[in-house]
A and B are shown apart, each in its own frame.
Chain A
Amino acid sequence: MEEIYAKFVSQKISKTRWRPVPPGSLQTADTFAAGSWDNEENYVSLWSIGDFGNLDSDGGFEGDHQLLCDIRHHGDVMDLQFFDQERIVAASSTGCVTVFLHHPNNQTLSVSQQWTAAHYHTGPGSPSCGSAPCTGVVCSNPEIVTVGEDGRINLFRADHKEAVRTIDNADSSTLHAVTFLRTPEILTVNSIGQLKIWDFRKQGNEPSQILSLTGDRVPLHCVDRHPNQQHVVATGGQDGMLSIWDVRQGTMPVSLLKAHEAEMWEVHFHPSNPDHLFTCSEDGSLWHWDASTDVPEKSSLFNQGGRNSTFLSHSISNQAGVHQSLISSWLSTDPAKDRIEITSLLPSRTLSVNSLDVLGPCLVCGTDSEAIYVTRQLFS
Chain B
Amino acid sequence: MREVLIPGVNSKKKQMCFDWGPGEMLVCETSFNKKEESETKPGCPFIYIIRKDIDVYSQILRKLFNESHGIFVGLQRIEEELTGKSRKAQLVRVSKNYRSVIRACMEEMHQVAIAAKDPAIGRQFSSQVSILSAMELIWNLCEILFIEVAPAGALLLHLLDWVRLHVCEVDSLLADVLGSENPSKHDSFWKLVTILVLQGRLDEARQMLSKEADASPSSAGMCRILGDLMRTMPVLSPGNTQTLTELELKWQHWHEECERHLQDSTFASSPHLESLCKIMLGDEAALLEQKELLNNWYHFLVTRLLYSHPTVKPIDLHLYAQSSLDLFLGGESSPEPLDNILLAAFEFDIHQVIKECSIALSNWWFVAHLTDLLDHCKLLQSHNLYFGSNMREFLLLEYASGLFAHHSLWQLGVDYFDYCPELGRVSLELHIERIPLSTEQKALKVLRICEQRQMTEQVRSICKILAMNAVRNNRLGSALSWSIRAKDAAFATLVSDRFLKDYCERGSFSDLDLIDNLGPAMMLSDRLTFLGKYREFHRFYGEKRLTDAASLLLSLMTSQIAPRSFWVILLIDALPLLEEKEVVFSAEQTYELMRCLEDFASRRPVWREPGVQRIQEDVENTKLEMLRLALARNLGRAIIKEGSLEGS
Q: Could you tell me if B62 and A172 are in contact, using CB atoms closer than 8 angstroms?
A: no
> CA of A38 to CA of B448 in the docked complex: distance in angstroms?
17
> CA of A40 to CA of B475 in the docked complex: distance in angstroms?
28
Query: Given A39-B408, A133-B439, A173-B478, are A212 and B473 neighbors across the interface (CB < 8 Å)?
Result: no
Q: Could you tell me if A76 and B407 are in contact, using CB atoms closer than 8 angstroms?
A: no
Q: Could you tell me if B519 and A132 are in contact, using CB atoms closer than 8 angstroms?
A: no
Query: Given A217-B517, A217-B519, A370-B66, are A172 and B412 neighbors across the interface (CB < 8 Å)?
Result: no
**Chain B residues in 8 Å Cβ range of A238:** 444
Q: Could you tell me if B448 and A263 are in contact, using CB atoms closer than 8 angstroms?
A: yes
Q: Could you tell me if B475 and A123 are in contact, using CB atoms closer than 8 angstroms?
A: yes
Stretch at the interface among A4-12, A104-112, A270-278: A4-12
**Chain A residues in 8 Å Cβ range of B70:** 348, 350, 369
Q: Is B474 an interface residue (CB 8 A)?
A: yes
Q: Is B188 an interface residue (CB 8 A)?
A: no
> CA of A212 to CA of B518 in the docked complex: distance in angstroms?
12
Stretch at the interface among B253-261, B337-345, B388-396, B508-516: B508-516
> CA of A238 to CA of B441 in the docked complex: distance in angstroms?
11
Q: Could you tell me if B439 and A212 are in contact, using CB atoms closer than 8 angstroms?
A: no
Q: How far is the CB of A146 from chain B (nearest CB, A)?
A: 15
Which residues in chain A, 95-154, are within 8 Å of chain B measured between CB atoms?
A: 121-127, 132-133, 135, 149-151
**Chain A residues in 8 Å Cβ range of B441:** 37, 76, 78, 133, 135
Question: CB < 8 Å: which of A123, A194, A210, A351 contacts B411?
Answer: A351
Q: Could you tell me if B407 and A123 are in contact, using CB atoms closer than 8 angstroms?
A: no
Q: Could you tell me if A171 and B440 are in contact, using CB atoms closer than 8 angstroms?
A: no
**Chain B residues in 8 Å Cβ range of A212:** 517
Q: Could you tell me if B477 and A127 are in contact, using CB atoms closer than 8 angstroms?
A: no
Interface of B is mostly: helix
Q: Could you tell me if B59 and A174 are in contact, using CB atoms closer than 8 angstroms?
A: no
Q: Is B74 an interface residue (CB 8 A)?
A: yes
Q: Could you tell me if B408 and A121 are in contact, using CB atoms closer than 8 angstroms?
A: no
**Chain A residues in 8 Å Cβ range of B265:** none
Using an 8 Å CB-CB cutoff, how does the interface string of A244-278 with B read, 1 for contact, 0 for none? 00000000000000000011000000000000000
**Chain A residues in 8 Å Cβ range of B74:** 348
Q: Could you tell me if A123 and B474 are in contact, using CB atoms closer than 8 angstroms?
A: yes
Q: Is A334 an interface residue (CB 8 A)?
A: no
Query: Given A38-B407, A370-B66, are A263 and B473 neighbors across the interface (CB < 8 Å)?
Result: no
Q: How far is the CB of B535 from chain A (nearest CB, A)?
A: 13
> CA of A39 to CA of B442 in the docked complex: distance in angstroms?
12
Q: How far is the CB of A165 from chain B (nearest CB, A)?
A: 20
> CA of A38 to CA of B443 in the docked complex: distance in angstroms?
12
Total interface residues on B, using CB and 8 Å?
44
Q: Could you tell me if B473 and A173 are in contact, using CB atoms closer than 8 angstroms?
A: no
Q: How far is the CB of B373 from chain A (nearest CB, A)?
A: 18
**Chain A residues in 8 Å Cβ range of B484:** 217
Q: Could you tell me if A263 and B408 are in contact, using CB atoms closer than 8 angstroms?
A: no
Question: CB < 8 Å: which of A12, A123, A172, A352 contacts B472?
Answer: A123
> CA of A39 to CA of B60 in the docked complex: distance in angstroms?
15
Q: Could you tell me if B472 and A10 are in contact, using CB atoms closer than 8 angstroms?
A: no
Q: Is A56 an interface residue (CB 8 A)?
A: no
A130's nearest neighbour on chain B, judged by CB, is B473
Q: Could you tell me if B473 and A282 are in contact, using CB atoms closer than 8 angstroms?
A: no
Q: Could you tell me if A38 and B442 are in contact, using CB atoms closer than 8 angstroms?
A: yes
Q: Could you tell me if B472 and A127 are in contact, using CB atoms closer than 8 angstroms?
A: yes
Q: Could you tell me if B478 and A172 are in contact, using CB atoms closer than 8 angstroms?
A: yes
Q: Could you tell me if B473 and A126 are in contact, using CB atoms closer than 8 angstroms?
A: yes
> CA of A139 to CA of B543 in the docked complex: distance in angstroms?
40
Q: Could you tell me if B472 and A93 are in contact, using CB atoms closer than 8 angstroms?
A: no
Residue of B440, B469, B476 with highest tally of chain A CB at under 10 A: B440
Residue of B60, B62, B69, B70 with highest tally of chain A CB at under 10 A: B70
Q: Could you tell me if A174 and B440 are in contact, using CB atoms closer than 8 angstroms?
A: yes
Query: Given A38-B407, A192-B481, are A124 and B440 neighbors across the interface (CB < 8 Å)?
Result: no
Q: Could you tell me if B66 and A369 are in contact, using CB atoms closer than 8 angstroms?
A: yes
Question: CB < 8 Å: which of B448, B477, B519 contacts A215?
Answer: B519
**Chain B residues in 8 Å Cβ range of A93:** 438-439
**Chain A residues in 8 Å Cβ range of B440:** 133, 135, 149, 174, 191
Q: Could you tell me if A262 and B513 are in contact, using CB atoms closer than 8 angstroms?
A: no
B65's nearest neighbour on chain A, judged by CB, is A370
Q: Could you tell me if A124 and B474 are in contact, using CB atoms closer than 8 angstroms?
A: yes
Query: Given A10-B63, A282-B448, are A210 and B473 neighbors across the interface (CB < 8 Å)?
Result: no
Q: Is B360 an interface residue (CB 8 A)?
A: no
Q: How far is the CB of B128 from chain A (nearest CB, A)?
A: 15
Q: Is B429 an interface residue (CB 8 A)?
A: no
B414's nearest neighbour on chain A, judged by CB, is A351
Q: Could you tell me if A370 and B63 are in contact, using CB atoms closer than 8 angstroms?
A: yes
Question: CB < 8 Å: which of B66, B471, B474 contacts A122?
Answer: B474
**Chain A residues in 8 Å Cβ range of B473:** 121-123, 126-127, 132, 150
Query: Given A172-B478, A371-B66, are A126 and B472 neighbors across the interface (CB < 8 Å)?
Result: yes
Q: Could you tell me if B411 and A172 are in contact, using CB atoms closer than 8 angstroms?
A: no
Q: Could you tell me if B517 and A192 are in contact, using CB atoms closer than 8 angstroms?
A: yes
> CA of A282 to CA of B60 in the docked complex: distance in angstroms?
25
Q: How far is the CB of A139 from chain B (nearest CB, A)?
A: 21
Q: Could you tell me if B62 and A10 are in contact, using CB atoms closer than 8 angstroms?
A: yes
Q: Could you tell me if A76 and B438 are in contact, using CB atoms closer than 8 angstroms?
A: yes
> CA of A198 to CA of B473 in the docked complex: distance in angstroms?
24
> CA of A196 to CA of B514 in the docked complex: distance in angstroms?
13
Q: Is A159 an interface residue (CB 8 A)?
A: no
A172's nearest neighbour on chain B, judged by CB, is B477
A212's nearest neighbour on chain B, judged by CB, is B517
Q: Could you tell me if B472 and A370 are in contact, using CB atoms closer than 8 angstroms?
A: no
Q: Could you tell me if B477 and A125 are in contact, using CB atoms closer than 8 angstroms?
A: no
Q: How far is the CB of B492 from chain A (nearest CB, A)?
A: 14
Q: Could you tell me if B438 and A282 are in contact, using CB atoms closer than 8 angstroms?
A: no
Q: Could you tell me if A217 and B521 are in contact, using CB atoms closer than 8 angstroms?
A: yes
Q: Is A368 an interface residue (CB 8 A)?
A: yes
Residue of A37, A78, A132, A149 with highest tally of chain B CB at under 10 A: A149
Q: Could you tell me if A368 and B411 are in contact, using CB atoms closer than 8 angstroms?
A: yes
Q: Is B250 an interface residue (CB 8 A)?
A: no
Question: CB < 8 Å: which of A40, A171, A196 contacts B407?
Answer: A40
Q: Could you tell me if A121 and B412 are in contact, using CB atoms closer than 8 angstroms?
A: no
**Chain B residues in 8 Å Cβ range of A133:** 438-441
Query: Given A191-B478, A263-B448, A348-B74, are A171 and B438 neighbors across the interface (CB < 8 Å)?
Result: no
Q: How far is the CB of B471 from chain A (nearest CB, A)?
A: 8
**Chain A residues in 8 Å Cβ range of B232:** none
Using an 8 Å CB-CB cutoff, how does the interface string of B50-84 with A read, 1 for contact, 0 for none? 00000000011011001101100110000000000
> CA of A149 to CA of B59 in the docked complex: distance in angstroms?
31
Q: Is B643 an interface residue (CB 8 A)?
A: no
Q: Could you tell me if A172 and B511 are in contact, using CB atoms closer than 8 angstroms?
A: yes
A282's nearest neighbour on chain B, judged by CB, is B448
Q: Could you tell me if A11 and B481 are in contact, using CB atoms closer than 8 angstroms?
A: no
Q: Is B111 an interface residue (CB 8 A)?
A: yes
Q: How far is the CB of A216 from chain B (nearest CB, A)?
A: 7
> CA of A216 to CA of B520 in the docked complex: distance in angstroms?
8
**Chain B residues in 8 Å Cβ range of A348:** 70, 74
Q: How far is the CB of A34 from chain B (nearest CB, A)?
A: 15
Question: CB < 8 Å: which of B67, B111, B469 contacts A58?
Answer: B111
**Chain A residues in 8 Å Cβ range of B510:** 169, 172
> CA of A337 to CA of B406 in the docked complex: distance in angstroms?
44
Question: CB < 8 Å: which of B73, B438, B477 contacts A151?
Answer: B477
Query: Given A40-B408, A368-B411, are A172 and B476 neighbors across the interface (CB < 8 Å)?
Result: yes
20 A-B pairs with C-beta separation under 8 A? A8-B67, A78-B439, A123-B471, A123-B474, A125-B472, A126-B473, A133-B441, A135-B441, A151-B478, A172-B476, A172-B477, A173-B475, A173-B478, A173-B514, A191-B481, A194-B517, A238-B444, A348-B70, A351-B411, A370-B62
> A10-B62, A150-B475 given. 14 additional CB < 8 A pairs?
A8-B67, A12-B408, A38-B408, A40-B408, A121-B475, A123-B473, A126-B473, A149-B440, A169-B510, A172-B476, A172-B513, A173-B478, A174-B478, A212-B517
* Across the A-B interface, the 4 shortest Cβ-Cβ residue pairs: A172-B477, A172-B511, A215-B519, A121-B473
Residues of B within 8 A of A (CB): 59-60, 62-63, 66-67, 69-70, 73-74, 111, 407-408, 411-412, 438-442, 444-445, 448, 452, 469, 471-478, 481, 484, 510-514, 517, 519-521
